[in-house]
Amino acid sequence: MNTANDAQTNVAQHRDYLYRYALLHLRDASRADDVVQETLLAAVESPERFSGRSSLRTWLTGILKHKIIDVFRKQAREQTVDNPGGSESDEEFADLHFNKQDTDHWHSFPTSWGNPERSLEDKRFWEAFDQCSQQMPGQVARVFYMRELMGLETEQICQELSITPTNCWVMLYRARMNLRQCLEIRWFAGAR
Amino acid sequence: MLTCRQVSHLVSEEQDRRLGWLERWRLRVHLKVCEGCRHFQANVDFMRKAVRHHPLLRDQDKDE
């Protein structure tokens, strides 16, 4: 028999996973703790909503995603006042990567990463990856996580964060430029 | 011809929206002659693939 107590135990087993998931997105231990708490509470209060069609963990992660997006929405609202998106203007950002005097050529040309798929099984690659993604500015990181980690479409992201598609593409562009450069320096330059 | 800076934007946006035919054509012309931007495109493609293999996402379906 599946008592409320059983459900509580089952749900709690996934706390550690949910915490790691939340921490990667929110980059703040106490905020991550909060959303996991809320997620577990929401799950235990309505165990009948778990249909068993997906795994319990997948179901819990689904609830957690909504909680994380709620936090993102709030952060995006707070940030627009003093800091609209990334910190630099488009021109300032471009100057970091391209040389205006030389018809906008790369300061340092992107290099071949050889056979990068091999890195996917390397724990140290993921340490570098997580460190690089932590370096992205707040709004840039939020849009990137929603797009790539959560797999949302641009339209959904625009709606959740109340930004325009163009703004969304600029944020994703900056995220990819930052992450690419960081991975090249921290991982591929040395590991090849 | 597009500059590397313009191409970097198109390569990124290609991940999020369908480019127009003129954009695709100009992108292809530039990539033919610019090795750096070809590497950039390959790097960006790989990053998307990499994120989908993130250990956290792989653990998501594990129910221990």
For chain A, the domains span 4-82, 90-191
Total domains present in chain B = 1
CB contact under 8 A, A176 and B12: yes
Q: Amino acid letter at B24? A: R
Q: Tell me the mean pLDDT in the region B19-42.
A: 97
User: Are the beta carbons of B44 and A116 separated by less than 8 Å?
Assistant: no
Give the closest of B40, B51, B60 to A110, CB-based.
B40
pLDDT score for A43: 87
pLDDT of residue B12 exceeding 70, the answer is yes
Beta bridge mates, A98: A106
| Residue B64, domain member (yes or no) | no
The overall average pLDDT reported for chain A is 88
> Residue A192 above 70 pLDDT?
no
Q: What is the pLDDT of residue A80?
A: 60
Specify the higher pLDDT residue, B56 or A47: B56
- What pLDDT, on a 0 to 100 scale, did the predictor assign at position A78? 84
Binning chain B into helix, strand and coil, the percentages to the nearest 5 are 70, 0, 30
At A29 the pLDDT is 94
Residue numbers of the domain that contains B9: 4-59
Q: Which residue of A has its CA nearest to B57?
A: A149
The CATH number assigned to the domain with range A90-191 reads 1.10.10.10
| Beta-carbon separation of A172 and B4 below 8 A | no
Question: What's the topology of domain A4-82?
Answer: Rna Polymerase Sigma Factor; Chain: A (1.10.1740)
The answer to whether residues B60 and A61 touch, using CB atoms and an 8 Å cutoff, is yes
- Residues A171 and B12: their CA atoms lie apart, in Å, by 10
pLDDT at A161 over 70: yes
Residue A172 to residue A96: CA distance in whole angstroms: 16
Average pLDDT over residues A91-120: 91
Q: How confident is residue A4, by pLDDT bands cut at 50, 70 and 90?
A: low
Give yes or no for a contact between A126 and B26, defined as CB atoms under 8 angstroms apart. Answer: no
A15 and chain B in contact, CB less than 8 A:
no
Structure tokens at A21: 């998931």
Interface of A with B in 46-105 (CB under 8 A): 55-58, 61, 94, 97-98, 103-105
With cut-offs at 50, 70 and 90, classify the pLDDT of residue A31: very high
The answer to whether the Cα torsion of A153, A126, A170, A164 is positive or negative is: positive
Mean pLDDT to the nearest integer, A137-141: 91
Question: What confidence category does residue B33 fall into, taking pLDDT thresholds of 50, 70 and 90?
Answer: very high
Residue with tokens 């292809």: B28
- Answer whether A134's CB lies under 8 Å from A24's CB: no
Alpha helices, DSSP H, located in chain A? 4-12, 15-26, 29-45, 56-82, 90-97, 123-134, 138-144, 154-161, 165-183, 189-191
Q: Residue A127: which region, alpha, beta or left (left: phi > 0; alpha: psi -120 to 50)?
A: alpha
